Structure 1
Amino acid sequence: MAELKLHGFWYSPVTLRVVLTLKLKGIPYEFIEEDRFNKSPQLLEYNPVSKLTPVLVHGGKPICESMIIVQYIDEVWPQNPLVPHDPYERAQARFWVAYADQMIPAVKPLFHVITDDEVREKAIERVQEHLRVIENQCLIDQEEVLWW
């Protein structure tokens, strides 16, 4: 198997998405912790366009952007597939991934020290809105299963 390295930040949700994918599939890799404010020359070489993590390097070839990396991993290592084979179910899964990505800006402020109570409350409300949508969808899905 070709050498596999993952450049990322340990606290990044998009890096964690790739880490979880690799772990779910049982794929060994080397994690290279990047400094958010002082990115390595390797990272800048591997991702000269956005200069962002995560970057997966497989056999010396870089793959950028977390969802592209996840799809790549799922295609190269087909064991434990991440998405359904049915095109409709696969489209639904991709919809919810896109929805989860929309939550990142809502959650991000909560990782910083917020001294303004109003700002904190608005951030919490935005996250709760997103979670309510997911919860409601789960309830609808459960009702459909129970109906059958």
Structure 2
Amino acid sequence: MQWAVLVQVVRPNTLKRCELQYAHMKPNQELESIASSIIQQAERLLTAEQKATEYRSVDDSLMVDHRRTTACTRVVAYLSRVLTAVEGLNKQSFLTELGNRLHKVLTTHWLKFSFNASGGLKLKRDINEYRDFLQNFNTPTVNEKFESLSM
């Protein structure tokens, strides 16, 4: 009903432009929805797998566990599957958006924890793992963000 009124009021060029903008917005909205779903799943994995004491062990001994955390392993495995499935013209912009959102989610997630010396080393291992994986996205802005975290 609205389009019928619009056709009568708007010049044909303007109408074509509106239709093109709508057609362009729809894929972007779908990509936005997909990115949100992927990030929500990553958040669920972090919440389910990350133990509250994982970065603050009771025994702050010299024996440091250099393995990445289970949460890190699960998130990277999930994102690896996502990366292999992404293709098309919007791939680079999609991966940039995904990487930026993941950076925000991870930094917010890590702020919930307290750390001791060995936990800090374990966090550094996780950060390096995320950084190494996200280099596959080939997105300089995301690489810079994770590079600054690993310093």
**TM-score normalized by structure 1?**
0.28
TM-score when normalising by structure 2: 0.28
Which structure shows the bigger proportion of residues in strand conformation?
1
> Which is bigger in relative contact order (C-alpha 8 A, separation at least 6)?
2
Larger helix proportion, structure 1 or 2?
A: 2
